Structure 1
Amino acid sequence: MSDASRTHVGTPTPEELRAQVERTREELGQTVEALAHKADIKAQAQEKTAAVRKRAAEETAVVAGHVRANAHHAVQLVKDRTPDRVRDQAAQASGLVGHATARAGRLVAEHTPDSVHDRAGQAATTARANRKPLFVAGAALVVALLLVRHRHGCR
C-alpha cells in the first residue's frame, strides 16, 4: 500500500481492505492448488505402483501356468514312455519300502528306552520353540556341506 492511497489517519480504506482480502484469497487458492497438485502426484505414484504389482501378479500367474503345464506334460511323457512292467515294479518297490519303513519305525519305538523317548520329546519341543535359529543352523550346515563337496570335487 502506498501513502497516497491511505487516508489522513493512516488506516486503509474499505476498497484497500477488499483488495487485500482478494489478494490473500488468491494467494491462498494458489497455495491450496499447489498442495493438491503434490497430493495428486503421490496418488499417481501409488496408482502406478498398484498397476505394476497387478501386472507382475498377472505375469507370474501366466508363467506359473506354463510351468504347471510343462511339468504335467513332462510327467505324461515319462508315464507314456515307461513300460508297464517297470511301472508295476516301481509301484511294488514303493509298497515294499513303505512297509519296511513302517516296520523299522515300530521296531525302533519298541526297543528304544523310555529315557531316550523323553529326551527326543524334549528336543522336539525345544526345536519347535526355536525354529528360526534351527533353520539358520540347518542352512549353515547345508552351505558348509556344499562347500566341502565342491572343494573335493574340484581337486
Structure 2
Amino acid sequence: MSDEKKQLQAEVERTRRELGETVEALAHKVDVPSRVKEQAQETKLKVTAATNDAIDSVSTATANAIGSATAATNKAIDSATAATNHAIDSLPDPVAEQVEKARRHPGAIAAALIALVLAIWAISRRNR
C-alpha cells in the first residue's frame, strides 16, 4: 500500500503543478493592463529601431550629397579660375598687370564701384 500511496502523492503533486501552471497562464491572459504594457514596450522598441535606421539612412544620404556638392563646387571653382586666368593671359600686358593688382585688392575695386555709383546718382539728381 505504501507504493500505491507514493504514486498517488506523486500524481497529486504533478496535478497541482500542472494546475498551478494553468492558473498562472489564465491569470496572465486575464491581466489585460500587463499585456497592454508588454505590447506597448515591444512597439516602442520596434519604433525606436526603425527611427534609428531612418536616421542612419538620412545621415548617409546627407553625407553623400554634401560630398557630391563639394566636388561639384570645387570643379566649378577650378573651371572658373582657369577661365579667369586664360582671360587675363589674353589681355595686353599693361591691362593684365592692372587686373592682377585689382585681384589682390578687392576692397579698392568695391570702393571705386561705390564711388562711381554715387557719382552717377549725384549727376542724375542734379539734372532733375
TM-score (norm 2): 0.48
Larger Rg computed on CA atoms: 2
Which of the two has greater helix per residue?
2
Name which structure has the greater RCO, CA cutoff 8 Å, separation 6+: 2
